[in-house]
């Protein structure tokens, strides 16, 4: 069996997120798992750390790679990234899910297309939709 080296890595800086959302590792963990499942990824494990006096880190290990968030509630900032290998799982769907949950006032994002030779940098389109 031959495996593809193709992968997509989406990195997002989200600003203007509510303090209480960014300072709740349990809430973030729940949303991160939902985001991973929404993009079709397979969750292998989850690690979450609540920092004192504030801040959180959540890492979701995927069969396809990872989804992570690091928060700075005092600044309303979250650093989010998702990397998936192969063509069947789209990390952009997980990112869109999280952006819609976090509701930042501004978002800056880049997508790296990896595993095809030199990395290609793209400007992803962040889709903000109403979650049902």
Closest CA to 29 of 14, 15, 43: 43
Peptide bond into 15 cis (omega under 30): no
pLDDT of residue 84: 95
pLDDT per residue as tens, the chain (132 positions): 567 788 999 999 999 999 999 999 999 999 999 999 999 999 999 999 999 999 999 999 999 999 999 999 999 999 999 999 988 999 999 999 999 999 999 999 999 888 888 777 877 766 654 443
Closest CA to 126 of 95, 83, 85, 89: 95
pLDDT of residue 129: 46
pLDDT of residue 125: 64
List Cα–Cα distances, 106 to 78, 81, 112, in angstroms. Answer: 11, 16, 20
Active site residues: 65, 70, 85
pLDDT of residue 19: 98
In 1-132, where do the E strands start and end? 7-15, 43-50, 56-62, 65-72, 77-85, 106-114, 120-122
pLDDT of residue 127: 61
Torsion angle, alpha carbons of 48, 46, 78, 19, to 10: -50
pLDDT of residue 116: 82
Gap between the Cα atoms of 12 and 79, Å rounded:
6
7-122: CATH, from 2.102.10.10, 3.60.90.10, 3.50.50.60, 3.40.50.150:
3.60.90.10
pLDDT of residue 73: 98
Gap between the Cα atoms of 88 and 67, Å rounded:
16
């Amino acid at each position: 069996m031959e495996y593809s080296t193709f992968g997509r890595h989406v990195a997002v800086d989200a600003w203007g997120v509510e303090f209480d959302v960014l300072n709740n590792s349990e809430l973030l963990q729940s949303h991160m798992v939902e985001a991973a499942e929404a993009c079709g990824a397979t969750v292998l494990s989850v690690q979450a750390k609540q920092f004192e006096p504030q801040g959180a880190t959540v890492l979701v290990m995927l069969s396809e790679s990872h989804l992570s968030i690091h928060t700075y509630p005092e600044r309303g900032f979250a650093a989010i990234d998702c990397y998936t290998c192969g063509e069947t799982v789209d990390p952009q769907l997980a990112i869109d899910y999280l952006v819609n949950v976090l509701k930042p006032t501004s978002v800056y994002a880049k997508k790296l297309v990896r595993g095809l030779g030199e990395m290609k940098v793209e400007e992803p389109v962040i889709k903000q939709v109403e979650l049902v």
